[in-house]
Amino acid sequence: MFKIGVMASGGGSNFKAIIDRIGNGDLEAQCKFLITNNAGCGAAAHAEEYGIPVYHISGKTHPDTAAYETALMDVLNRYDVDLLVLAGYMKALPNCVISRMSDRILNIHPSLLPKYGGKGFWGIHVHEAVVAAHEKESGATVHLVSEEIDKGRILSQVKVPVMEDDTPEVLAARVLEQEHELYWKTIKEYAENLAANH
Ligand code: GRF
């Protein structure tokens, strides 16, 4: 069975959408763990509800960089997942994780990359910039994670219209709804591609 691990920091609606699709059989995979840098987050609550082990690994739990990296690598080594799925993980990954999981880390970003990606473009700031620029459309992107933030190979995108009276919050909600559909489908396709190439 295809094994995934998820990393998340926030509300965890993308994480929940993925584990719901695993639960109903649309996505044939097992979710082995959630790593979070934010112990009280919604994603951790979802994981507990679904009986998925939660690992809280952050600058707080591991102030020493080497110990922090070892803690992350220990989880990866223990479960040996096929794919690491970033679902609203708000911290850059250390290079040791990126090279351990080369071409096997996916991220979802709430814009049509390469637009509105990179430094400073996270969370509501992405949608604020899109609204301020009077864009006619926005969307979401699933991409591979490389050392440069938001620059890895794009795997899929969905477009969403921007209405004239949109606030950043209204636009964020419209994009998020589409993220929930895009992410599990992209994981499924990517898993199938990996299987076909082995
Ligand atoms: C999403 O907008 C995602 O694109 C971004 O972080 C947000 C996470 O939302 N990377 P949630 O925690 O899945 O609800």
Tens of pLDDT along the chain (198 residues)?
A: 999 999 999 999 999 999 999 999 999 999 999 999 999 999 999 999 999 999 999 999 999 999 999 999 999 999 999 999 999 999 999 999 999 999 999 999 999 999 999 999 999 999 999 999 999 999 999 999 999 999 999 999 999 999 999 999 999 999 999 999 999 999 999 999 998 987
Tell me the domain boundaries of the chain: 2-196
CA distances (Å), 141 to each of 73, 109, 114, in order? 27, 5, 9
DSSP secondary structure, 73-91, as one string: HHHHHHH--SEEEESS--S
Residue 179, ligand 1, Cβ within 6 A: yes
Structure tokens at 109: 């970003």
Place of tokens 């209405």: 163
Q: Say if CB 93 and CB 126 are below 8 A apart.
A: no
Whole-angstrom Cα Rg for the chain? 16
Ligand 1 contacts CB of residue 11 (under 6 A): yes
Q: Is the CB of residue 87 below 6 angstroms from any atom belonging to ligand 1?
A: yes
Q: Against a cut of 0.95, is the pTM above it? A: yes
Would you state the CATH architecture of domain 2-196? 3-Layer(aba) Sandwich (3.40)
Active-site residue (options: 46, 56, 109, 134): 109
Q: What is the 3-state secondary structure (H, E, C) of 109-132?
A: ECCCCCCCCCCCCCCHHHHHHHHH
